[in-house]
Structure 1
Amino acid sequence: MSTLTIALCASTALAQDVAQSGSEYFTAGQDQIAERIAAEPNTNQAKNVILFVVDGMGVNTNYGIRLFQGQEMGLLGEEHNLPHDLYPNSAIIKTYNINAQTPDSAPTAGAMNTGVKQVFNTINMADTVIHDDCSTEAPLTLFSEMLSEAGKSVGVVSTARITHATGAAVYAKTANRNWENNAPEGCVDIATQLVDQMEAGVIDIALGGGARSFAPEGTEIEVGTGNRPDDVNLIDRATEIGAQVVYNAEQLSSTDMTAPVLGLFTNSDMNYEHDRPEGEPSIADMTEAAITSLQGNEEGFYLMVEPGRVDHASHGGNAHRTFTDGVAFAEALALADEMTDDEDTLIIVTGDHEHAIVFNGYCGRGTPITGLCMDVAAGQVEHSGEPVLAADGKPYTVVGFGNGAGSVLVEQEDGSYSGERPELTQEEAQDPDYLQQALIPASSESHSGVDVGLWAKGPWAHLFGGTMDQEMIFHVMHHATLDAAAE
């Protein structure tokens, strides 16, 4: 008798014995158990790896994105699943840096691309590096360089500047993540390193914002004006080495996608999905173009995709844009999954860190995730339609931040801070531009040091499990692509 048959028989027997056997929750649970019993680990060599690093998405932010998309679809929201929520393998990931309890995006993304923890505000340097000190740089070997040497293609996609910390971790090595277009004498800025890695054959496609870092100050480019302090035009140099440089969705879709391709779609970061103008590609557009290009290599590829502005919206204290960019990421992930085969493609979804985002209670089912917390209703599933009131007699939103621009404490003329929560309507709370209430006043909301989730499917995804350090992501990717080939 097969394992699946045994599981189904056991489920049937249990269903006949308990009062709750008719519940949809109960039958769904039994079905999932049967699937897990029957599942066998995929130990194929991974031809391809796609790593989605959703900047600023811990378990809390993932929860908010899930409910937001579900409610957009007309559901109550809580029952919805994002694509990766259903992946068979998952883990909890620690995010601290060598010298920081609360991490920044540079060393966290660097850990995923090298297999070791790194120093705060540095990218892909050994632990002896001193931030902002060029003389101490000790470069590490990158996953992209290993796979390129093995004959695979490499790509990076970001909705932030392509030279920003997370995306840069795929190709750059620097003592200061902010040296995007300038660096002290003897060091190489990040934009230059990207073109260097294209010329070396390591990076085959790079799509994102940040065109300004590739042209001299005052130089007009199709999407803005350069601000490099030197006279180097990296766009001209990229063209000279054979790269196709594209600036909008139409150019991206019409190029023949033969590598290398450099997409520079905005002068700085790309627009939030809520504000994205016609002609600017979405993250799904860029992901599709990158996979199409990279699939031209029969040896396979490594692609890292960063939905970078999820992070920026939370820094701004604006949950609506955090979640709309999160939904755009989910759509890109679903497309990437559709374009590839689980048998030979390892897909990993994680965040580099979480934010100081909080979810207040006690709210009834279907409470709008960006709105006021609505009370639980007796005798029905959906909320009562009446807001829950705090001790001050006022309603409050589901989402808040521990610190940020939405602080209820306001600076007074004498420099002190005081204040009280204002009255708030549902319409005001759900305005896309509303800044969620926060406690500690800050011009930019901060990261959090708490663990983030990881979800995976494909070859060797079963190696993820339990609580793991962030650098383990590299080691699983390395085993799936290179070690597995030698076994």
Structure 2
Amino acid sequence: MNSFSMFFMFVAMTIVFVFARSVSKNPLPVVAFDEKNKDHWRAQAQWTLQSKLSQLQNKNVAKNIILFLGDGMSITTLAATRVYLGRQHGMTGEEIKLSFESFPYTGLAKTYCVDNNVADSACSGTAYLTGVKANSGTVGVTGAVKRGDCESARNSANTVTGLVDWAQRAGKSTGVVTTTRVTHASPAAAYAHSADRTWEGDADLPKRGLQCEDIASQLVQGHVGSHINVIMGGGRRNFLPRHEKDISGKHGSRNDNKNLIREWLLIKESMGVRPKYINSRREFYAKDYSNYDNILGLFSADHLPYNLDASEDDPSLTEMTQKAIEVLSKNTKGYFLFVEGGRIDTAHHETKARKALDETAEFAKAVEAALRLVNLDDTMIVVTSDHSHTMTYSGYSSRGSDILGLVNSKFNASDNLPYSTLSYANGPGYKPHQDFRRHNLMLDDMNDPDYTYPSLVPIPRETHGGEDVAVFATGPWAHLFSGNYEQNFIPHAIAYASCIGTGLTACNL
């Protein structure tokens, strides 16, 4: 079943509702799709009520866990993406749900850092992957470590591990999949300890003689990183020396002359496993992976390209997720898989709303693909975000309007110039006034995928937002994710459901 078929199924359920007498004392009649008919809304609401009443709490042990992270996927982003997808398939869009929005349990997570009221991806990644909140810009360390304080980060009393380490200690396989560099802040929080998220390669380290370890080295050589079974994403440059070129002809960035890809292969072989390195989508499908249980896939020197810019040789998030589940599922003890749709965030930073919504749609497809491959009796899936962004959705446009276009309502701007349904509080999309008049958006090509949407405050890079983010859960113990809670609660609830870690679990009550 493809993404649209799932969406259509939901819409169909809102169009026609048939309730058997065994389900309701007063079964509803068949109701044709007509939003102007009161019976349409009553039937829709009653169907939702019946589905919630019939939902049973699953208290099985979660053998497998998949944590999906839409980086920068604010609630506003979700709402706008529904319309974006719906219009692609001839609907108005507001009425559909993304794949994970049908999960039975939802909650809200508070995202602030120890030192900042608005989170970055490093402190938030530390929270939802290790269960401990940290300072902005730091990865896998406590709030006792200030950004850039390498010496404090080297103190083991200030380092923290989380879900990946706990799963490995329980004998489970582990995987990290992302559309960003695999050394970027979010995936780095799964395995690394760093006083600065930007220390991805040795060339990024401060030149003060401190013995800091870069994040790429920790992925290959670290206690947690070296035991990860599946790694897929971008960032080849941080694994290759400057004098070597990758498959695309781009030089590596390492100053220490190390080829960490070669080292990864040797380390894995010394562990008695058969590893495989892949660097293109073509190779992704050319090999039989039945004999491999350790995969390193680095498909770009930097981040993977946006979906709207991708070539035939760039794997999608869905394809990487499917391959990771296929490999990790070989372990009879189960697995933990972290999947990040990381380019939602980078598109928002550039105020490229079209790309942000498209990346969110691709993220929803990856979740849907996972749902087709797993058994929810023993697999927990949690979908969330690390922080929001400043994009707003406003203007009273009529249903069916282009979410990426101009507002079409009687509530015109007082200067009689058009304005967009989506805009940002700050960022590079600031449009300077001309002759003391606001920029006329009718002069812009808003169909350009790289169009920067209007922002109020001119800064080179749009900022994150500080409001809560949504959490969606299904599978064993998913009901733990209802309500409002600190972001660092998430891994504790996952560990409880899967009986990993040193805290309270469903197995040690």
TM-score, reference length from structure 2? 0.87
Q: Give the SS at the match of 2:160.
A: coil
Contact 2:219–2:226, Cα closer than 8 Å, also in 1? no
1:124 aligns with 2:140: yes
Which one of 148, 151, 175 corresponds to residue 155 of structure 1? Answer: 175
Partner residue in 2 for 1:318: 352
Partner residue in 2 for 1:397: 420
Q: Give the SS at the match of 1:51.
A: strand
Partner residue in 1 for 2:166: 146
Partner residue in 2 for 1:281: 315
CA distance change for structure 1 residues 21 and 440 in 2, over 3 Å: closer, same or farther?
closer
Which one of 364, 380, 384 corresponds to residue 398 of structure 2? Answer: 364
1:194 aligns with 2:219: yes
Partner residue in 2 for 1:136: 152
Q: Give the SS at the match of 2:332.
A: coil
CA distance change for structure 1 residues 50 and 409 in 2, over 3 Å: closer, same or farther?
same
Partner residue in 2 for 1:307: 341
Return the offset for 1:180: 0.2
Amino acid across the alignment from 1:439: L
Root mean square deviation, CA, Å: 2.1
Amino acid across the alignment from 2:489: M
CA distance change for structure 1 residues 61 and 90 in 2, over 3 Å: closer, same or farther?
same
What is the rounded CA distance, in whole Å, between the counterparts of 1:362 and 1:354 in structure 2? 23
Return the offset for 1:94: 0.6
1:461 aligns with 2:478: yes
CA distance change for structure 1 residues 53 and 366 in 2, over 3 Å: closer, same or farther?
same
What is the rounded CA distance, in whole Å, between the counterparts of 1:434 and 1:278 in structure 2? 24
Return the offset for 1:238: 1.3
What is the rounded CA distance, in whole Å, between the counterparts of 1:440 and 1:288 in structure 2? 41
Partner residue in 1 for 2:286: 254
Instruction: Deviation per CA, 1:177-205: give whole Å up to 9, x if none.
Output: 11100235322110011112488753101
Partner residue in 1 for 2:7: none
What is the rounded CA distance, in whole Å, between the counterparts of 1:423 and 1:214 in structure 2? 46
What is the rounded CA distance, in whole Å, between the counterparts of 1:303 and 1:112 in structure 2? 13
Instruction: Deviation per CA, 1:388-409: give whole Å up to 9, x if none.
Output: 5311101111100001111123
Amino acid across the alignment from 1:480: A
Which one of 47, 52, 73 corresponds to residue 63 of structure 2? Answer: 47
CA distance change for structure 1 residues 187 and 11 in 2, over 3 Å: closer, same or farther?
farther
Partner residue in 2 for 1:480: 497
Partner residue in 1 for 2:14: none
Unaligned runs of 5+ in 2: 1-19, 270-274, 500-504
TM-score, reference length from structure 1? 0.91
What is the rounded CA distance, in whole Å, between the counterparts of 1:305 and 1:431 in structure 2? 29
Contact 2:191–2:224, Cα closer than 8 Å, also in 1? no
Partner residue in 2 for 1:25: 41
Instruction: Deviation per CA, 1:281-317: give whole Å up to 9, x if none.
Output: 0111111111111111111111111110100000001
Which one of 248, 258, 274 corresponds to residue 232 of structure 1? Answer: 258
Partner residue in 2 for 1:222: 247
Sequence identity, in percent? 34
CA distance change for structure 1 residues 192 and 420 in 2, over 3 Å: closer, same or farther?
farther
What is the rounded CA distance, in whole Å, between the counterparts of 1:259 and 1:187 in structure 2? 31
What is the rounded CA distance, in whole Å, between the counterparts of 1:468 and 1:70 in structure 2? 31
Unaligned runs of 5+ in 1: 377-387, 413-417
Contact 1:397–1:429, Cα closer than 8 Å, also in 2? no
Contact 1:354–1:448, Cα closer than 8 Å, also in 2? yes
Instruction: Deviation per CA, 1:56-75: give whole Å up to 9, x if none.
Output: 01101111111111111111
Which one of 62, 66, 76 corresponds to residue 60 of structure 1? Answer: 76
Return the offset for 1:426: 9.2
What is the rounded CA distance, in whole Å, between the counterparts of 2:405 and 2:345 in structure 1? 20
Return the offset for 1:424: 2.4
